[in-house]
Structure 1
Amino acid sequence: MSAPSPARPGRLIGYARVSTDEQVNDAQVDALKAAGCRLVHQEHGSGASRLRPVLAKLMRDIGAGDVLVVVRLDRLARSVSHLLEVIEVLEKRGAHFRSLGDPIDTSTPQGMFSLQVLGAVAQLERALIAERTKAGMKAARARGRLAGNPGLRERRPDAVRAISAARQRAYLDDLITSAQTWLPTVRRLRPQYSWDDVVRVLNRRGHDWTVERLRRAVHRLVREHIAEPALIKRSPRRPPEDRLMTLVAGIALADPDLTLLEIGAQLERMHERTPRGSRKWQASSVKALLDRARRLGLVVPDPAPGS
């Protein structure tokens, strides 16, 4: 992979959110513009929900060196753990976070210290909840009672439905929180490439997907209008000998900075053999497959030859 280019000057990007029972967010917008944010994204929605399409798009588009700015922490996150998850995604993209009303600015040592304190508080909170849960279960057993939800033990339909709905909400929350790390790659590859090829590319970049789990995740985001319906269309049927071509093109499309030799190295780690059956990939073999992909109309980048 080529060396990263120097970071461009960061932008201050504002995010303002009002609950459905509030009227306007002019005060937030004014404060963000006064702080230097030329661009302010505005969203309406409950603080208890992570279904925020404006924030999701902002997180996809934010670049290295940019700073996401909010008036207060509660305008962004519904909990400390949610805040830490958002900031972790920003850090992976080389961006920062700042709250005007709180001592949080991840571009400064003092702000990072405050963030570490919040992380310690969240960890302590989780530990206390777990300890209270264990104590409650122990006390219930001492009194001869069964721990847990009585309605669920009795298989009452209302209790079963409530538990199922809670699990579905938790699953969706997890998808939305993690989507910035894998959904862009899916968008670049689907539906031109098969689910199997997409999974192979994602897992070579540190993920742990199976075809079934990835398809289920994308279908759910489509149902929630977070992802585009085109992603779940059937991929074009190709002859078996085209599988290597689509795989090589998919790797190049997912990471345009890779050289031909680096693509070959990835294929070797994936235990893929060349069209002639060799375990060793040469730049010329990769280039031949990419050239073939272009002739068939696939949109793929043109990696540097490498050496």
Structure 2
Amino acid sequence: MRYGYARVSTIDQDTALQDSALALANCAEVVREKRSAVKKRPELEALLKRLGPGDELVVYKLDRLARSLRDLIRIAEHVQDVGATLKSLTEPIDVGTPMGRMVLQILGVVAEFERSLIRERCMAGQLEAFKRGKRIGRPLKLPVEEQNEVIQLVGCGIPNSDIGEAYGVCEGTVRRLHSFATGRNFNKDGEIRQLYYANKKPS
């Protein structure tokens, strides 16, 4: 059986392009996933367990499949071990041959390098924004008064889940507010702050 796998990084994107290509490739079933490659991908892992002799796993591009070169090799070896085959619609390689496996590793290295460059560019942009005093990350839904109330409620020992439900925010938001207020800052801009102060010249 020919299975297609499509993945996008965020819920704001859709798999329409990949779906069209996989449909043209005559995939009998397409598994879709909307999450970053660095996170767990339960749909992919479940699909890998279903693969058997004679099956084919088809992806639009290899970077849709793996989070790193090691992850790509792991998946490719698993596919081969169960008697299935792996096919990329935009990168015609045969992982069943030594040359194909070498090309697979080269493509994996290139994809990993590209992701690191993108991350560096994003970090540089966020650092410049931080220098200008701009807050990094999504704006909080709660007004300042309610944020203070949330912090006080956490300090009183009320469960984060109950507070979040009462104020219409997730438990993680409650935890971050309290952590920031008590000096244990787990905010997303923590790494950017470290870069900023590490490069700031003493006055």
Q: Return the TM-score normalized by structure 1.
A: 0.33
Name which one, 1 or 2, has greater alpha-carbon Rg.
Answer: 1
Q: Return the TM-score normalized by structure 2.
A: 0.49
Relative contact order, CA 8 A, sep 6+: which one is greater? 2
